[in-house]
Amino acid sequence: MLTDTEIKRAIRAATKETTLNDGAHGRGSGSLRLRIRPGASGTTATWIAWWKQGGKRATKPLGKYPDLSLSAARALFVSEVAPVVRAGKNPRVRTVVEGKPTVGRMFEAYVASMRAKGRVSADEVERALLKAGDNAADGLGRHRLCADIDSADVVDFVSGFFRRGSRGQADKARSYVSSAFNWAMKAAHDYTVENRQDWGIKINPAAAIPRDQGAIGKRDRNLSADEIRLLWNSATPGLNGFTVETATAIRTLIGTGQRVQEVLRIDGSEIDLKSKTWTMPAEKTKGRTNPHTVPLPKQVVEILEDLKEQRGDGPLFPGAVDGRMDHRSIMQAIDRWLELDGVTVPDFQTRDLRRTWKSRAGEIGISKEMRDLIQQHAKNDTGSKHYDRGEYLPQMREAMKQWESYLSSVIGV
């Protein structure tokens, strides 16, 4: 059977299409395989179910790795493919799934569809709908039929957050519930999917609930040079409540201006210490279309070099892989630091570090075009999307050298 280490090694080494076999999961059930394909935009890896019927080979795609993890792919194969093949039926035949159309099952199916599409927000949505102490499934009635949920039920659930003063959380809860019911209504009639279920929903019960326009205010918080200096020097592993992981993540966020989830998903193999670059595979970027290369300032190279020496080519933040670490972990470390005696920095969030990079980089003369390119905000117009294939790496390097000098003057390194 495969391991994650074997898979990652094969992806890095792939120069032509390769298929890895995880083996059969029961006699006569076919096998789970991973198809690896190098391409101009990066290497992709897709889980496929493989079996024989009537002497002919057949396959069915299950999802992309690493969005669909090794353990999740095995579970999917065992539950949805192997029994069908053993029964002599074709897993590719579109069928209407049977089962009680409850709120809990519908939310689970919605989250599974997000994961199959590689949505980065799947974990957060799953937590809000199914796992948190105040999750929507329990709030609406996990075992109630979807068709029995009306607008009043959703209002009662969402208003609980509002009454507690969590205005933003109330708006998010409304949005997540509305999106899930919208998905269920469409999924019941989606002829392009392998399996579908009629959830019995005729009208989205959250559709009539207006969005609270004042719930999510426009944030403009960004750290000054003095605040950057204090945070950088305080974020020392083992001091001020910072672990190796939280301290490294915070400094990498300040030094590169990238997104929190992108930083937490770094593998050592993506860091080229010689060229001082970090190359994100396409599947790890927000757009999930093209790989993204970030020139690294020397201050970030030094801390990632130490971490890479300890953890090799695998995940530099293993806690983010097994669920022990996410953006909340970093925010909790920051909150603890802000409460220490002598720290007078006003509250800020992890996402404000990305805004800080863009704001301070602009002040030292880095053009908006270069800042957008480095932060993956550029190339959204039609011409750039379809015709501009320039990578602009030399220009990005020059911009990052400016940032490196600025950061050195600010933090004294």
| Residue 382, pLDDT above cutoff 50 | no
CA 80 to CA 99: how far, in whole Å?
14
Identify whether residues 129 and 84 lie together within a single domain.
Answer: no
Same domain, yes or no: 174 and 272? no
Average pLDDT, whole number, for the chain? 88
The upper half-sphere exposure of residue 50, i.e. CA atoms within 13 Å in the direction of its Cβ, equals 15
257's tokens:
């201006």
Region 269-295: what's the mean pLDDT?
Answer: 89
The CATH number given to whatever domain includes residue 30 is 3.30.160.390
Q: Is the pLDDT of residue 205 over 80?
A: yes
Looking at the fold, whether 296 and 170 belong to one and the same domain comes out as no
Q: Find out whether 10 and 36 touch, Cβ atoms under 8 Å.
A: yes
Mean pLDDT to the nearest integer, 305-316? 92
d(CA 63, CA 160): 37
Q: Which residue has the higher pLDDT, 330 or 96?
A: 330
- DSSP count for the chain of H helices, then E strands: 18, 9
Q: Exposed (0-12), middle (13-18) or buried (19+): which is 209, by Cβ within 10 Å?
A: middle
The tally of domains found in the chain comes to: 3
| 218 occurs within a structural domain | no
386 and 292 housed in the same domain? yes
Residue 290 pLDDT level (bands cut at 50, 70, 90): confident
Q: Each residue of 58-77: pLDDT tens digit?
A: 888 888 898 888 988 888 88
CA distance 8 to 66: 9
Top-ranked range on mean pLDDT: pick from 15-24, 97-106, 357-366 = 357-366
Mean pLDDT of 302-316: 92
Res. 52 pLDDT band, cuts 50 70 90: confident
pLDDT at 221: 93
Kindly indicate the confidence band of residue 388, based on its pLDDT and cuts at 50, 70 and 90.
very low
28 lies in the same domain as 116: no
The residue segments making up the domain with residue 313 are 225-411
pLDDT digits 0-9 by tens, 239-281: 999 999 999 999 999 999 999 999 999 999 999 999 999 999 9
Encode pLDDT of 364-373 as tens digits. 999 999 999 9
Task: Give residue 28's identity as a one-letter amino acid code.
Answer: G
Distance separating alpha carbons of residues 228 and 255, to the nearest angstrom: 10
Q: Which residue has the higher pLDDT, 246 or 194?
A: 246
Q: Are residues 351 and 243 in the same domain?
A: yes
- 96 pLDDT above the threshold of 60: no
Query: Does residue 88 carry a pLDDT above 90?
Result: no
Give which of 252, 267, 265, 273 is closest to 312, Cα–Cα. 267
Looking at the fold, whether 302 and 385 belong to one and the same domain comes out as: yes
Q: Indicate the range of 1-10, 240-249, 286-295 predicted with least confidence.
A: 286-295
Examine the fold and report which residue of 93, 111, 143 is the final residue of a domain before the chain moves on. 93
Strands 95-96 and 195-196 come out as parallel
- Region 296-323 average pLDDT: 91
273 and 355 fall within a common domain: yes
User: Does pLDDT of 193 surpass 70?
Assistant: no
Q: Is residue 358 part of a domain?
A: yes
Q: Is 372 a member of any domain? A: yes
Domain end (from 59, 93, 127) = 93
Instruction: Specify whether the CB–CB gap between 14 and 38 falls below 8 A.
Output: yes
Classify residue 204: in a domain, yes or no: no
Q: Looking at the structure, do residues 82 and 119 belong to the same domain, yes or no? A: no
Could you tell me if 256 and 349 lie in one domain? yes
Share of the chain above pLDDT 90, in %: 60
Average pLDDT of the segment spanning 371-395: 67
Length of the chain: 413
User: Considering 36, 59, 93, which residue would you say is the last residue of a domain?
Assistant: 93
Residue 69's pLDDT is 87
Domain match, 153 and 236 both = no
Q: What is the pLDDT of residue 384?
A: 47
Per-residue pLDDT at 91: 72
Between these two residues, 261 and 195, which has the higher pLDDT value? Answer: 261
**In this model, does residue 34 exceed pLDDT 80?**
yes
Residues 84 and 115 in one domain: no
